[in-house]
Amino acid sequence: MTHYISTANDQQTTPIIPIIKSTYETWLAAQNEFLRAVASQQKLGEDVGNIIVDRKKSGRISKVYMLVSDDLNPYDFCHACKSFPDGQYHVESDTEEVIKAVILAWGFGSYRFDRYLNQKQAPTLVVKDQGAYHTELATIKATSMVRDLINTPADDMGPTELSDYAEQFAKENHATFTEIVGDSLLSENFPSIHIVGRASHKAPRLIELNWGDENNPKISLVGKGVCFDTGGNNMKSAQFMRWMKKDMGGGAHVLGLAQLIIDHDLPVCLQVLIPAVENAVSGSAYRQGDVAQTRSGQTIEIGHTDAEGRVILADALTYASEGEPELIIDYATLTGAARVAMGPTVTPIFSNRKEISDEIFANGQISHDETWPLPLQQSYKKYIKSSIADLNNSASLPQGGCITAALFLEHFVGADIPWVHIDTYGWNFGDRTGGTEGGEALGMVAVFNWLKGKYTA
C-alpha cells in the first residue's frame, strides 16, 4: 500500500496553507495584489479542494494554498493532493483541528493500491510529530490496510492468504493466532462455515486472534471473510460477480478496527474471529434446499446459496457468545438491500441496544464516517421461517433485506450480550476518495471513536 505520508524526512518541505472556505474573503483581502489576482484568476475560493501554487522569482515553490471545508470533512478535499506538484510538504496552521483534517485528507486521497504497478513518484506530506497526530496516522494506517485487503484479487487473497495475513498481523501486534481448517471444522463443531466453503480448493477456516489483558473487559469482533463469492449454485451474473473479491470486506474491517484498538492500547481483552471461505462451485458445493447444521444446534434451510455470509457468521457469532464478552461487533458486506436503502457511503448499523447504535451514529457525524441506525424489526422474523428447518437463509419477500439478514444473525447472539451488526459496503466509486475507486473502510472509524470513548477515561 502507498499513501504518501512520511514521518521521517530531513529534506526541506514546502508549507501547505489551509484556508477555511467561510474565511476565504477575509484571507483574500489580507494578501498582496499579485496573490489576490492569482487567487481570483484560478478561482481558489470557489470549490473546496482547490489549490494555488505560490512561487518565488526563481520558480521554486514557496507555498501552496488550499481551500478546505468549514466542517473540516477530510473527504471533501482529499482529492486536492492529486493536484500538487512533486515534492515534500507540511501543513502550516495555527489550528490543530485544521492540521489533523489535512493529514487525514492527504492520507485518504493519496492512497494507491500499487501491488501490481510500477511505483510512481508522488508528492509527499511530512508529519514529523507522530505523538501529536497519532490518531490520524493510525487511522490512515488502518484504512489503508482495509483498502489493501479488499483490493487484492481473490487468487492472492483467498482463505489461505487471508489466514497468512492474519498470522503475520498477530506476530507484529503481539497477539495470539489460531485457526481451525477444513474438515477440522466439523470435528470442532463449526459445520455452517464448512458447508459454505467446502467446494473450494482453498480450505475453509475459522481464524482467531486474541490480544490484551484477560482481566480487561472482553470484546469480540467478527468479520465475514468470503474471499470470493460466485453466488454458489445460484450463480451471480458477471455484472454482480465482478467485484466479489470485496466480499471479505467484513474480515478486513475487523482487522483494521483491531489495529486501531491495538495502536491506541485500549484497555480491553480483544478477540477477532474471521470465518474465511470461498463460495465456489464444484461437485461438493452446497445446494439450494439443503439444510445446514450450526454450532448453536439451530438448523438453516438454504433458500439461496448466494446468502452465504450469514450462514458462516452463524457459527462465528455462536462461538463469540460462548466466551461471554461484554460486547460483540460484527462487520459484513452482507446485503445489496443495505446499498439500496443507504447508498454506497452511509453504513446501516443494527444493535440489540438502542443506546449503542445512537452513540455510534453520533460519533460517525463527528468523524465524517456516517452511519445510520436501522431497526431489528421483530415482526419481520416471520419472513425467515422455514417449513423444514429452524430458519431460512433467504427471506420470503425481497423488501427489508438488510433487516431480515440482521434478524437472522440475531438468532446466534447471546440474548444478554450487547451486539452491533454493521452491514458495510466495503467499496467506493471514487467520489469519497478523490477519484480512486476501490476498497474502502466504512463504519470503522465511527465505531473506533465510540470504543475509545467507552474504554478510556
Catalytic entry in 112, 218, 310, 432: 310
432, 445 contact by CB (below 8 A):
no
For residue 435, count other CB atoms closer than 10 A to its CB.
12
Catalytic entry in 141, 236, 381, 452: 236
For residue 315, report the phi and psi dihedrals to the nearest 5 degrees.
-70, -40
Task: Give which of 119, 448, 122, 413 is closest to 264, Cα–Cα.
Answer: 448
8: three-class secondary structure by DSSP? coil
Rounded to an integer, what distance in angstroms lies between the CA atom of residue 280 and that of residue 381? 29
438, 146 contact by CB (below 8 A):
no
**Longest CA span, the chain:** 81
Q: Which residues pair with 391 in a beta bridge?
A: 300
C-alpha cell at 306: 448466494
Rounded to an integer, what distance in angstroms lies between the CA atom of residue 379 and that of residue 319? 27
Task: Give which of 431, 213, 447 is closest to 331, Cα–Cα.
Answer: 447
292, 191 contact by CB (below 8 A):
yes
CB half-sphere exposure, 256, CA atoms < 13 A? 31
For residue 100, give the H/E element and its range: helix 96-109
**3-state DSSP helix/strand/coil percent for the chain, to nearest 5?**
40, 20, 40
Rounded to an integer, what distance in angstroms lies between the CA atom of residue 323 and that of residue 454? 21
205 is catalytic: no
382 is catalytic: no
Rounded to an integer, what distance in angstroms lies between the CA atom of residue 222 and that of residue 178? 15
CB half-sphere exposure, 77, CA atoms < 13 A? 29
Catalytic residues: 236, 310
